[in-house]
Amino acid sequence: MTELLELARRVAEQARPGEQIEAYVARGTTTSVKAYGGEVESLTSAESFGVGIRVVSGKRQGFAHCGTFDDAMVFDTLADARDNATFGEPDEFYGLAVPDGLPEPSLHLWRDELVSFPTVEKVALALELERATVGRDPRVTGVRTAIYGDSLGEVAIATSTGIAAHGRGTGCHLSVSALAVSGGETKIGGGVSVGRGPSELDVEEAATDAVDRAVRLFGAVKPPSQRLAVVFEPRLAATLLGIAGATLTGERVLKGRSPFADRLGEQIASPLLTLVDDPTDPRSFGADPFDGEGLATRRNVLIRSGVLQGFLHDTYSGRRAGTGSTASAVRGYASTPGVGCRALAIAPGSGSLDELVGGVDRGLLVQSLSGLHSGVNAVSGDFSVGAEGLMIRDGALAEPVREVTIASTLQRLLLGIRAVGSDLEWRPGGTGACTLVVEDVSLSGT
């Protein structure tokens, strides 16, 4: 038994008759190295740890947390959670998760090579990333940021209802923003490489991506307003999926804040789209053997061939909906569980990005989106955001464009998908996305 799980169990064992106790114990370390001008601009390393305790008694819930593993403080925190429960409003759906018999998936999410990776090598990667980016194109005059970062985390959950779970994982990344100048114009492009261990990182991949994105938009113009096909490459498709996935949580549905709340079993997307949330897939950086309440994770199909199959739930929203949990609780030690997507992914279709672009007569290859927070209404589905990218004419990339607005609704965008690529790409946030081609989208320019 690990130190963290032992502590969680000791807390959970303090449950009194008629009371439920959950202990969530977490520990993690992070490192970040920033390079600039051939030198180390900053190097930070931090450790975090703490315990969150939830108490349910008399249909009331109390919560408290502390940033220490000291026994006296932890049990003082338990007393605070009990006290807080007495002030809570009663709710018939309060209650901890109970084991549902599903075994935890066997996932290898920990890399010993990261644990033993020397700080000097982390610094060297950040400096190498900056050098590779600046030396790739004469128009690149420098970088805004060149970063190596990593994290190692361990979590244990124990409850008086019989749950005992422990897991750990590692992750690291390289990210760079290239600064390119030509003809009085300045452009910025970003690149990233991610992995669970340093041997999985690719400096050339991150540098090439950043430079290509910076230089290909020189000479961008504002095009006339029109309706056309829009091509979302994987990183932008991941953004679109994240917006869609957020509308498919039980919490939003129960609050009436999802445009798909009453459409279960209906066609809400193109038949080409199958969307799953699968934390059991080790390729996703959101993979985890258990959720924020200790239930074994599972593959949840949200949309199959365009038809809405279901919503994501934690224990609370699952009880309210009468469906049970889908093991989709997300949290940290300083918060109570909520519902969230962990590893959204599109089922791949066919064709590379180049092949899909080749099938578009008139369209826009989107490179970046802006104004997502203000331009997307997750309740109504209204979608109006700024964009820049490259026009497509007769299957070939044409002039770069800027200062355009893409307007539609989330519902129409999903139904308008006419092609799904085979180029599945896993993004740092855990989403797996492919190139998407969406037809008949309004573009506002001049």
Verify that 68 and 176 share a domain, yes or no.
yes
Taking the whole predicted model, whether its pTM rises above 0.75 is answered as yes
Verify that 224 and 310 share a domain, yes or no.
yes
Q: What is the pLDDT of residue 1?
A: 56
Domain interval for residue 117: 3-215
Verify that 105 and 228 share a domain, yes or no.
no
Condensed to tens digits (0 to 9), the pLDDT of residues 89-100 reads 999 999 999 999
Q: What is the pLDDT of residue 106?
A: 94
Verify that 251 and 399 share a domain, yes or no.
yes
Condensed to tens digits (0 to 9), the pLDDT of residues 181-198 reads 998 899 999 999 999 999
Distance, in Å, from the CA atom of 249 to the CA atom of 317, rounded to the nearest integer, reads 9
* Sequence-ordered list of residues with C-beta below 8 angstroms from that of 369, at least 6 positions apart, any chain: 236, 239, 385, 386, 387, 406
pLDDT at 33 over 90: yes
Distance, in Å, from the CA atom of 440 to the CA atom of 228, rounded to the nearest integer, reads 5
Verify that 121 and 199 share a domain, yes or no.
yes
Distance, in Å, from the CA atom of 43 to the CA atom of 396, rounded to the nearest integer, reads 44
Q: What is the pLDDT of residue 397?
A: 95
As a whole number, mean pLDDT of residues 312-318 equals 97
Verify that 424 and 292 share a domain, yes or no.
yes
Distance, in Å, from the CA atom of 374 to the CA atom of 298, rounded to the nearest integer, reads 33
Verify that 84 and 21 share a domain, yes or no.
yes
Q: What is the chain's mean pLDDT, rounded?
A: 95
What's the structural domain count of the chain?
Answer: 2
Verify that 207 and 233 share a domain, yes or no.
no
DSSP string, 290-342: B-TTSPBP--EEEEETTEE---B--HHHHHHHTS---S-EE--TTS--EE--S
Q: In the listed set 197, 215, 233, which residue is the last one of a domain according to the structure?
A: 215
